[in-house]
Amino acid sequence: MKRPTITDIAREAGVSKGAVSYALNGRPGVSEATRHRITAIARELGWAPSETARALSGGRAGAVGMVLDRPADVLGVEPLFLALLTGIQRELGPASLILQVAPDHATELEVYRRWHGERRADGVLLTGPRRDDDRIAELLRIGLPAVALGGPLGRPGVPSVRVDDTAAVGEVLGYLAALGHRRVAWVTGPAVLVQTRVRAEAFAAAAERLGLPAARTVHTDHSAEAGASATTRLLAAARPPTALLFDTDVLAVAGLAALRERGLAVPGDVSVVAWDDSVLCRLVRPALTAVRRPVAEFGALAVSVLRDLLTGGDAGDVRTAPPALITRGSTGPAPSSP
């Protein structure tokens, strides 16, 4: 008989995998009534917490791998990365997480081959999924199970965990439009990334729906230097944007600094929104309006889906709880302009 998984418990209880994870690990995020109901169902199904490490390892490595393709200096200033790791490690329990930074695409593929050949990792969490991602084909070829952090991918055998960015984009643009902003620009990541494509398409659709013909998207990398440079270029336009949306908290803080260097007031002249809420968004002045995503839940769900994949469970695409727009001092009414 197949061992029960978190997916089985979630289906029986009629809740998300994240809610099951919170309940079974004694973490906040669910009501006490829901926690008791979930734990009771888990007992009835015969689920045992001690199986976590064995389910992940399959009797081999007892570890999950993750390759990071961003420079170490960029990762070092991204608070959201720590939240992601917290969620991953919390769900892994006694199993291990192997992290490696790869300077290029070829190195990343070689890392996966080595991990599989040396049986160092039972599966991997694939970061930054891309269009026509050949990493997926290689992982399937060598037989190393993988879950993509972001999606949807639509690739059989490689499920993904994602946040509903489409709804969040619509909420942000609706909020800015209600403040009178008609010229909005988004400084976002490389166009090759799946999450960038999803957000850019949602941004264009929401702008059309709200009647914002001057809305535009600028692609860049995720470094602070790129954020400042993109902001400077946008401000040099004949009719610069009155509101800027940045793909990460680091880009937003860099953009805020660039605005100040030009003597522009935030939000008097330009409103600023960060896509990922973090401590950085709360420490700068004015504090940044931001989209708060359940990053720790995102990481925990990825491990949960990988566990299901390793044990032959129903390992399909899943979504986290919806993000929320947190309004702070960096956004206000659009300035009067011709």
Per-residue pLDDT tens listing for the chain (338 residues):
455 777 888 889 998 887 887 787 666 677 888 888 888 898 788 776 544 444 554 455 689 999 987 665 555 556 778 888 889 988 888 788 999 988 888 999 999 999 998 888 999 999 989 878 899 999 999 999 999 998 777 777 889 998 888 999 999 999 999 999 999 999 998 888 888 888 999 999 999 999 998 889 999 988 889 999 999 999 999 999 999 999 999 999 999 999 999 999 999 999 999 998 988 899 999 999 999 999 988 999 999 899 888 887 767 788 888 899 999 999 999 998 65
Which structure tokens are listed for 85? 């790791």
pLDDT at 1: 45
CA distance 257 to 255: 5
Q: How far apart are CA 123 and CA 62, in angstroms?
A: 9
Could you give the strand order of the β-sheet that contains 160-162, starting from the edge strand earlier in sequence? Answer: 96-101, 63-68, 123-126, 146-149, 160-162, 318-319
> Could you tell me how many residues make up the chain?
338
Nearest-5° Cα angle at 321, 318 to 324: 140
Structural domains of the chain sorted by starting position, each given as residue range(s) with its CATH number in brackets: 1-47 (1.10.260.40), 59-162+294-323 (3.40.50.2300), 165-293 (3.40.50.2300)
| CA gap 11, 238 in Å, rounded | 55
Q: Give yes or no for a contact between 223 and 252, defined as CB atoms under 8 angstroms apart.
A: no
Residue ranges in 123-164 assigned as alpha helix (H):
134-142
The dihedral over CA atoms of 37, 42, 43, 49, expressed in degrees to the nearest 10, equals: -130
Q: 183 near 241, Cβ under 8 Å?
A: yes
Q: What does the pLDDT read at residue 27?
A: 65
pLDDT of 322 reads 87
